[in-house]
Chain A
Amino acid sequence: MDGRIGISHLEKVYGEGSERTKAIDDLSFDIDGGEFTSVVGPSGCGKSTLLYIIAGFLDITNGTVSVDGTPIDGPGTDRGVVFQDYALFPWRTVKENVLYGLEEAGVPDEEADATAQRFIDMMDLSGFENKYPKELSGGMKQRVALARTLAYDPKILLMDEPFGALDQPLRETLQDQLIDIWGDLDKTVVFITHDVEEAVYLSERVMIMTRHPGTKKTVTEVDLDRSRPREDIVTSEEFTRKKNEVWRSLREETKSEVQP
């Protein structure tokens, strides 16, 4: 299946001379097509840097990062990014935001309109098509951002702490919506978060990164039956065990941060 991400001996250095800081050091990690992977790590570990490199926003210092075997060369429509701050075009209505990627791809008007409407409906945004982003709540804005990204059908979803600014109940609703979408649409998802429970709840694999400079520390495989309701999953013994495993690994990193 398409949407594979290959990361091999990735190194990312910011700045030059005395300003040089290594953000990512010798990171190798492969993600299968259609896989849901979360990346957790202490703040400043380079997890967002990693996401921006996969997105093509940042250059690589050493190593390779490829999508389906082709090295990444800048942003492209095979990938889609969902930002924590939504990044909706404020001058475009909900519908016009969702249409953006389709317009840029040259999809004929009628077809684009039908596709946009399908994702607007999927994200429970019917009735809000003609609203501007400023008229929407944070949760709705993020659903518009998701609909906009899904509409142009990228193989890979790159999500940078997308629910970090939302309150707990809303976050849970969106997490469940994301799981449904992922199940229906066969996307590869790379999900950056600092919330251990969120990472374990959503993903098949959780990569924990070391603190500065960031690299792969441990990878926890999570094999939960996600067809069950949330309350059954989060109260299951397996969920708790995995959560503790990830939490302990992350804890070692954040603990060392406190030492002078």
Chain B
Amino acid sequence: MATHDLWTPDRLPDPFAGVAKFLFDWIPLLVLVVGWEVASGRAVSESVLPPPTAVAAATVDLFATGEVIPHLAVSLLRVGVGLGLSIAVGVLLGIGMSQSDAVEDFFDVFLSLIYPLPKTALVPLALLWLGIGTKTAVLIVFLACLLPIVMNANNAAENVDQNLIRSARMMGTSDRRLFWKVVIPATIPEILTGIRQAIPFAFISLISAELIASEQGMGRLIRDAGSIGRYPAMFATIVIISAVAYTAVYGFEQIRERVLVWT
């Protein structure tokens, strides 16, 4: 989050500095929420922009009635499978392209073609091929996440420090083992960076696919609530999926820092 860099609380003792920084980081959001609360029903009609208090109540309600649970579960499954597939394929492809010119030449054209394409533009096509539901959503999530993962993995695998490779070969590591002993560990930081970049794409593409091509999921819930005028519930669903996406990114960053103690 960009707001984390705005202010460095050098002059305060540590415990206060932590609290102060936290507050400072979240003040913009607080200002927005308060402004929204005030504006709703005054500057803008409450039916178009329900106040945050109503959205909060709808959020609690969505969980209390259990209405959101199956949608959230389906959405998380789709993100998990789509992202998981893109990690598996992306890492293999990225590193494979660095190891073999034939592999690189073959896949390069496809990657170059899908790179500038908004992946959500493929939703209607995916719908035609795979029908409404999980398969379509997973395909779109997979495609949206694939490129950052392939590119980071490929870039890292192609730029492994030559002297590390030379050292390993000098110490008796065969070309085949070199891959596991040097190339893979040297590439892990960038692979994790690629995954980190892909997580937001996963949620964006998921919701886009579910808005159009799903009977279930958070995207579908947003559409349904919106189409019958349950605006507080619609906003609540957006808030919930945003919070989930934020938690996924934050959680992944924590894991990444722990894995990469050596960087």
Q: Which residues of A contact B (CB under 8 A)?
A: 55-57, 74-77, 79-81, 83, 85, 87, 89-92, 100-101, 104-105, 132-134, 148, 152
Contact A101 B188 (CB under 8 A): no
Q: Is B241 an interface residue (CB 8 A)?
A: no
Decide: A89 near B170, CB < 8 A? Known: A134-B262, A134-B263.
no
| Given A56-B170, A76-B170, A104-B168, 13 further pairs, Cβ under 8 A | A74-B169, A79-B170, A80-B170, A81-B170, A83-B163, A87-B166, A92-B262, A100-B168, A104-B172, A104-B181, A105-B172, A132-B261, A148-B167
Please give, as numbers and ranges, the residues of chain B lying within 8 Å of A134 by CB-CB distance: 262-263
Contact B163 A104 (CB under 8 A): no
A-B contact pairs, 6 of them (CB 8 A): A75-B166, A75-B170, A83-B167, A90-B262, A100-B168, A104-B172
Tally A-B pairs: CB < 8 A.
Answer: 60
Q: Which of B204-263 contact A (CB under 8 A)?
A: 261-263
Contact A55 B170 (CB under 8 A): yes
In the complex formed, the residue of B with least CB distance to A83 is B163
A148 to chain B, nearest CB (A): 8
- Picked from B164, B181, B261, the residue with its CB within 8 Å of the CB of A87 is B164
Q: Sort chain B's interface into a size bin.
A: 20 to 34
B188 to chain A, nearest CB (A): 7
- Chain B interface mostly: helix
A130 to chain B, nearest CB (A): 11
Please give, as numbers and ranges, the residues of chain B lying within 8 Å of A90 by CB-CB distance: 186, 262-263
In the complex formed, the residue of B with least CB distance to A86 is B163
- Picked from A57, A91, A92, A104, the residue with its CB within 8 Å of the CB of B171 is A104
B260 to chain A, nearest CB (A): 9
Contact A87 B185 (CB under 8 A): no
Cα A90 to Cα B188 with chains together (Å): 12
Q: Is B193 an interface residue (CB 8 A)?
A: no
Q: Is B182 an interface residue (CB 8 A)?
A: yes
Please give, as numbers and ranges, the residues of chain A lying within 8 Å of B182 by CB-CB distance: 89
A116 to chain B, nearest CB (A): 13
- Chain A interface mostly: loop
Decide: A89 near B164, CB < 8 A? Known: A132-B261, A132-B262, A134-B262.
yes
Q: Is B67 an interface residue (CB 8 A)?
A: no
A152 to chain B, nearest CB (A): 6
Cα A104 to Cα B168 with chains together (Å): 9
Decide: A87 near B171, CB < 8 A? Known: A132-B262, A134-B262.
no
Cα A87 to Cα B169 with chains together (Å): 12
Cα A100 to Cα B168 with chains together (Å): 8
Q: Which of B138-192 contact A (CB under 8 A)?
A: 161, 163-164, 166-173, 177, 181-182, 185-186, 188
Contact A87 B167 (CB under 8 A): yes
A33 to chain B, nearest CB (A): 19
Cα A83 to Cα B171 with chains together (Å): 14
In the complex formed, the residue of B with least CB distance to A82 is B167
B239 to chain A, nearest CB (A): 40
In the complex formed, the residue of B with least CB distance to A104 is B172
Please give, as numbers and ranges, the residues of chain B lying within 8 Å of A152 by CB-CB distance: 171-172
Cα A55 to Cα B171 with chains together (Å): 11
Contact A91 B262 (CB under 8 A): yes
- Picked from A56, A89, A101, the residue with its CB within 8 Å of the CB of B185 is A89
Please give, as numbers and ranges, the residues of chain B lying within 8 Å of A100 by CB-CB distance: 168, 171
Please give, as numbers and ranges, the residues of chain A lying within 8 Å of B173 by CB-CB distance: 104
Contact B171 A85 (CB under 8 A): no
Please give, as numbers and ranges, the residues of chain B lying within 8 Å of A85 by CB-CB distance: 163
Please give, as numbers and ranges, the residues of chain B lying within 8 Å of A80 by CB-CB distance: 170-171
In the complex formed, the residue of A with least CB distance to B260 is A91
Please give, as numbers and ranges, the residues of chain A lying within 8 Å of B168 by CB-CB distance: 100, 104
